[in-house]
Structure 1
Amino acid sequence: MNEMINPWKTLSEKSIYDNPWISLTEYQVINPGGGKGIYGKVHFKNLAIGIIVLDEQNNTWLVGQYRYAPDHFTWEIPEGGGSLHVDPLISAKRELLEETGITAANWTEIQRMHLSNSVSDELAIIYLARDLSFGEANPEESEQLTLRKLPFTEAFNLVINGEITDSLSVAAFLKVKVLNIVP
């Protein structure tokens, strides 16, 4: 069996919903076992971009905000959307400056991941930003943000204790730890 060959057969597709950020399509399918069924896919019209920020003392910055979809306040790394037609690093630099007022001279891509590959095609790219300069944040109208500086180890413990649950943030902190960027 070749794992690279798609075992699903699409019989038809129907657009269910569309807005500037996402679209939802329903597919009539034959599944890998031969049964007929439906499959819904959320298509994201932007990349998810996340930035984990580290200064020379291994401090990091978290952004706090009330998230509408899960209906609660969350701490997370600076993150946002980036156009599929723009270099993701340009989007990352824009998001970091917009949400924190921070610019960085050193950027490293540390992770690419799908956020929910069972129902969506959303691709996320996470960057590590270092060699920092500080200015004024300029959040979007839809963002009411709180900025929090803390040692990486404290933020990492918030991930381990389940206090940070945002998937980009969890992945970023775990990746930095596994790469031993911060011992």
Structure 2
Amino acid sequence: MEHNPEANPWKITSEQNIYDNPWIGVTEYQVINPSGNPGIYGKVHFKNLAIGIIPLDEDLNTYLVGQYRFPTDSYSWEIPEGGGPHVDDPLDSAKRELLEETGLKANKWTELQRMHLSNSVCDELSIVYLAQGLEQHEAEPEDTEQLIIKKVPFEQVYQMVDRGEITDSVTVAAVLKLKIMLMENKLH
């Protein structure tokens, strides 16, 4: 019998839902691990997609959103981000989030990348878009958000990522991806 290195080596013997709210669920699994020994594994299930948008104007400016993040107990500068139900078109969620947080609408949308944010403990999938052809409208933040929006030259944001001043993973990945696209002249 031929061994498939990409086959799942974990065997679940039982599972128990530990916690559930409108955004996440936590499950503890009793498992037989890849070495054949019994163990446990905890998984956080995200009920929404993580959506990120890097708005870019014709002068290569972008917009950062500043907010205090409860889980890290720290202030964070990020690209516009939010959640989108799995049943919705992710692009519709991106359009909604961009308008809510910045008041911007875009005429051109490009998916930059998809990534799992912490695949050792959760199943959260993020989809990041580039938004171009920007028009300013009125922002519509949620009542749980206390946001500061600032327009910044993209190169300055890249330098903030390079210096480690921006640590949000979706922002870091989006900025680095866009920087490579600009350097390789792949932006249309």
CA distance in 1, matches of 2:53, 2:5: 33
- Mapping of residues 1-183 of structure 1, within 5 Å: 1-180=3-182
Tell me by how many angstroms 1:181 deviates: 6.4
- Identity, % of aligned pairs? 64
Equivalent pairs counted in the alignment come to 183
- Any idea what SS the aligned residue of 1:140 has? coil
Gaps of 5+ in 1: none
Tell me by how many angstroms 1:177 deviates: 1.0
CA pair 59-181 structure 1, distance change in 2 beyond 3 A = farther
Does the CA contact (< 8 Å) of 1:64 and 1:75 recur in 2?
Answer: yes
Given residue 7 of structure 1, which amino acid in structure 2 is its aligned partner?
P
- Any idea what SS the aligned residue of 2:83 has? strand
Does the CA contact (< 8 Å) of 1:176 and 1:182 recur in 2?
Answer: no
CA distance in 1, matches of 2:5, 2:73: 39
Does the CA contact (< 8 Å) of 1:58 and 1:182 recur in 2?
Answer: no
Given residue 161 of structure 1, which amino acid in structure 2 is its aligned partner?
R
Does the CA contact (< 8 Å) of 1:114 and 1:123 recur in 2?
Answer: yes
CA distance in 2, matches of 1:164, 1:170: 7
CA pair 181-97 structure 1, distance change in 2 beyond 3 A = farther
How large is the RMSD of aligned CA atoms in angstroms? 1.1
1:97-147 per-residue CA deviation (whole Å, 9 max, x = no partner) reads: 000000000000001000000000000000000000001111000000000
Given residue 3 of structure 1, which amino acid in structure 2 is its aligned partner?
P
Given residue 28 of structure 1, which amino acid in structure 2 is its aligned partner?
Q
CA distance in 2, matches of 1:123, 1:181: 27
CA distance in 1, matches of 2:71, 2:6: 34
- Any idea what SS the aligned residue of 1:125 has? strand
Tell me by how many angstroms 1:25 deviates: 0.2
CA pair 131-145 structure 1, distance change in 2 beyond 3 A = same
CA distance in 1, matches of 2:54, 2:184: 12
CA distance in 2, matches of 1:177, 1:35: 45
